[in-house]
Copies of this chain bind each other. A is one copy, B any other.
Amino acid sequence: MQNFEKFLQDNLPVSKSIHPTYEKALHEMLKAGGKRFRPALLLGVVGAYNNLLIDGARHAAYAIELLHTYSLIHDDLPAMDDSPLRRGKPTLHVVYDEVTAILVGDALNTYSFEVLADAPFSDAIRVKLIRELAYNGGLNGMVLGQAIDCYFENQPLSIDDVKILHTNKTAKLIAASLKMGAIIVGEEELGEKLYDFGIKLGVLFQIQDDILDVTQTSEEAGKLTNNDEDKNSFVTLIGLENSMKEANILADELTMELNNFDENLKESLSSLLTKYINRHR
């Protein structure tokens, strides 16, 4: 992942114009780091099947990180979560203003598709990757999840509906990251299996986030924690202890399912996944 970090820093969006701060604002949250979890998933799948494709795959991993970063910037806006802190830094609307945060988000959203359209793959692969990212990061994926999250603030949902929320808001993009790796190496059947695995992983990821939100300080998390009382989180709905139980069940299932994948894939993903699958325990 060091190579990915270098790739990202070397390929930050370029925009020279009369606007004195626009390019810097575009870079701010991208450079701030983050776990790069979604890129690592995609690159883990590609590395398992064809290491020669890793250089090209970084473009696709970058596109996912661009889309993910835009979503964080918009989620943090005053009209939504109104968060002062992200990735350990002040959020864009705090450093600049709301206009900048909205427009930088818009630009990174569109740019993710530009990056995929220019990525070093055949046109057939490019189109498949674009479709996957748009489906899962768009109106029936991540954006829908955020819309549900905001709409039902202060209105408790059932656990099933919270799973719908998190499947859309978090899990679909995580699942797409795995599947896009499979698309790049031409393993489409595996892609479907990885997608289902990724949905479950994404829900676990969100339960863990909910747990960490109440057990970590803002400094530890690099973002404002203990800020979800009005949100539909697992912890607010079923309590910390039951959320831990739910997370353990999912973590055990995922550990089992991981064993069903090819040896090379297991090897490539297991240290990453074991770390994440168990980060709440």
Chain A window 20-63, contacts with chain B (Cβ cutoff 8 Å), 1 for yes, 0 for no: 11100010000000000000000000000000000000000000
- Copies of this chain in the oligomer: 2
Docked pose: A19 CA to B116 CA in angstroms: 31
Q: How far is the CB of A188 from chain B (nearest CB, A)?
A: 15
- Is the beta-carbon distance between A102 and B79 smaller than 8 angstroms? yes
Contacts of A21 in B (CB 8 A): 151
What count of chain A residues pass the 8 Å CB interface test?
A: 57
Instruction: Name the one of B15, B98, B139 contacting A15, with C-beta atoms under 8 angstroms.
Output: B139
- Is the beta-carbon distance between A111 and B123 smaller than 8 angstroms? no
Interface residues in A67-111 (C-beta closer than 8 Å to B)? 70, 74, 77, 79-80, 97-100, 102-103, 105-111
List 30 A–B pairs whose Cβ atoms lie within 8 Å, in order of A's numbering.
Answer: A17-B164, A18-B161, A19-B144, A19-B148, A21-B151, A22-B151, A26-B139, A74-B102, A74-B106, A79-B98, A80-B102, A99-B150, A103-B143, A103-B146, A107-B138, A107-B144, A108-B139, A109-B109, A110-B137, A110-B143, A111-B138, A111-B139, A113-B130, A114-B135, A114-B139, A117-B131, A118-B131, A123-B126, A126-B127, A127-B127
